Amino acid sequence: MIKTIEYQGGLARMIDQTRLPREKVFVDCRTIEEVGRAIQDLVIRGAPAIGVAAAIGVSLGANAIEANTFEAFYARLEHQCDALAKARPTAANLAWGIERMKRTARKHRHLPVAEIKERLRQEALAVVEEDIQINRKIGGHGQALLKEESVVLTHCNAGALATAGYGTALGVVRAAVEAGKRVNVLANETRPFFQGSRLTVWELMEDGIPVKLITDGMSGYFMMKQQVDAVVVGADRIAANGDVANKIGTYMVAALAHRHGIPFYVAAPVSTLDLTIASGEAIPIEEREGEEVVNVAGQSIAPEGTVAAYPAFDITPHALVTAIITENGIARPPFDESLKRLTETG
C-alpha cells in the first residue's frame, strides 16, 4: 500500500507530490514549520492527508518546546498551532488535526511536560492509523452504491495520496474492486496542478485498476455519451446544509452529472464536515498564484505578462449532491438532518 506520510524517528516522512509521477522521492520534515511549508507548497495535499500532517506537525512542534510548566508549554504550543493553521484555508481537516492535538495536551495537563510530549506523539500515530481505517469504512459503505460493472468519473485526487492511505473517493473504487466489481475510472486531469493525471492515474496504475485519463473539458462529452455510471469525488470542507468545497472544477462536473441524471457522490471522513458553517458561501476559498496557471511543468503556456486567476476550490451546491459517504454511513438529502445524525452516531 502507498504510504503517503509516516511518523517515525522524530520526523515526518512524506512522498513529494510535486514530483510525482516523474520520480518517487520523500521529504523529511523535522519541525512544525517545515510541515507547514510542505502543506503550503503542496508537497502533501488532500484534506485528510493535511489533517494527518498537521497532527504530526504539532507533535514535532511540542517536542521542540522547553518548558517546565503546562501553562508555559501550552502557550508556546498554541502559538505554533496558530501559525500552522494558516498554511491553507479551505480544508477543514487542518484545523481538525490541530484541535485534536491541542485537546490531547489539555487532557494530560496534570502530567510532566515530557510525558505530555509522549502522549502527543502517540496521538499523532493514532491519527495516521485511524485515517486508513476510516477510509476503509468509507470504501465499504460507498462500494455498495456502484453497479457490478461501472465507469466512475473522478476529479482531482482523493486517493491514497490524499490521505494516510487507501483514499476516500478512490477508496470507494478500491473497495468495489476488492468486492469483485469491475470498475473503470475516468480521471479528469485537474488543471492546473494536475492531481488527476499525475496522482490519480499514477496510484491506480500502481494498483492495476483500469483508468483512462481525460482533460477536464471532456467530462460532459463522456456523460452525454452515457459512458459514465457515477461520479465520485472527495471534499475539503462540507457545510451543514451539504454544500461541498472541493477542487476547482468539481462544480462543473456536478452540474453536468445532474444534467445527465448521473449520481454525484462525495466521499469524505466526518473530520471534513464543518457543521459550524451553515452553507458553502461561508467556506474560505484558497486563492493561489496565477503564475501556477500560466506555467505548466516549468513551461509558460501563455504570452508573457498574462494575468491569470487561480481559485483552488469551488463550491458544489447540495442540490447537485446525490449522497455523502462517510465512515459512519451514507447521508442523503436533506443533508442538514442526515449529516447531523451521522456525526452523532460516531
Q: Does 165 bind ligand MRU (CB under 6 A)?
A: no
- Residue nearest ligand MRU by beta-carbon distance: 234
Q: Does 200 bind ligand MRU (CB under 6 A)?
A: no
Instruction: Please report how close the Cβ of residue 190 comes to ligand MRU at its closest, in angstroms.
Output: 8
Ranges within 89-118 binding ligand MRU (CB under 6 A)? 91
Cell readout for 74 is 501550552
Taking the C-alpha atoms of residue 205 and residue 212, their distance in angstroms, rounded to an integer, is 10
- Residue 316, strand partner residues: 244
Q: Does 238 bind ligand MRU (CB under 6 A)?
A: no
**Segment contacting ligand MRU (CB under 6 A): 57-65, 69-77, 202-210, 229-237?**
229-237
Stretch (H or E) spanning 265: strand 264-267
Q: Does 45 bind ligand MRU (CB under 6 A)?
A: yes
Q: What are phi and psi of 170, to 5 degrees?
A: -75, -20
Crossing angle of helices 32-40 and 47-63, in 10° steps, is 160
Cell readout for 17 is 507530490
Residues in the chain, overall count: 346
CB crowding 229-252: b at 16 or more within 10 Å, else e: bbbbbbbbbbbbbbbbbbbbbbbb
Binding mask 309-338 for ligand MRU (x = CB under 6 A): ---x--------------------------
Which is closer to ligand MRU, CB of 241 or CB of 271?
271
Alpha helices in the chain (DSSP H): 32-40, 47-63, 70-84, 92-107, 113-143, 169-178, 201-206, 219-224, 250-259, 291-294, 335-344
Q: Does 158 bind ligand MRU (CB under 6 A)?
A: yes
Q: Does 124 bind ligand MRU (CB under 6 A)?
A: no
Q: Does 249 bind ligand MRU (CB under 6 A)?
A: no
Q: What is the CA radius of gyration of the chain?
A: 20
Instruction: Please report how close the Cβ of residue 169 comes to ligand MRU at its closest, in angstroms.
Output: 7
- Tell me the DSSP string of 170-224: HHHHHHHHHTT-EEEEEEE--TTTTIIIIIIHHHHHHTT--EEEE-GGGHHHHHH
Instruction: Please report how close the Cβ of residue 323 comes to ligand MRU at its closest, in angstroms.
Output: 16
Q: Does 234 bind ligand MRU (CB under 6 A)?
A: yes
Within 8 A by CB and 6+ apart from 171, the residues are 135, 136, 138, 139, 142, 159, 163, 267
Which is closer to ligand MRU, CB of 48 or CB of 280?
48
Q: Does 235 bind ligand MRU (CB under 6 A)?
A: yes
Which is closer to ligand MRU, CB of 168 or CB of 219?
168
Instruction: Please report how close the Cβ of residue 39 comes to ligand MRU at its closest, in angstroms.
Output: 9
Instruction: Please report how close the Cβ of residue 246 comes to ligand MRU at its closest, in angstroms.
Output: 5
Q: Is residue 236 annotated as part of the catalytic site, yes or no?
A: yes
How many residues touch ligand MRU under the rule CB under 6 A: the total is 18
Taking the C-alpha atoms of residue 74 and residue 95, their distance in angstroms, rounded to an integer, is 17
Q: Which of 131, 236, 243, 314 is catalytic?
A: 236
Cell readout for 339 is 449529516
Which is closer to ligand MRU, CB of 104 or CB of 154?
154
Residues belonging to the active site: 236
Residues that bind ligand MRU (CB under 6 A): 45-48, 91, 156, 158, 162-163, 168, 195, 233-236, 246-247, 312
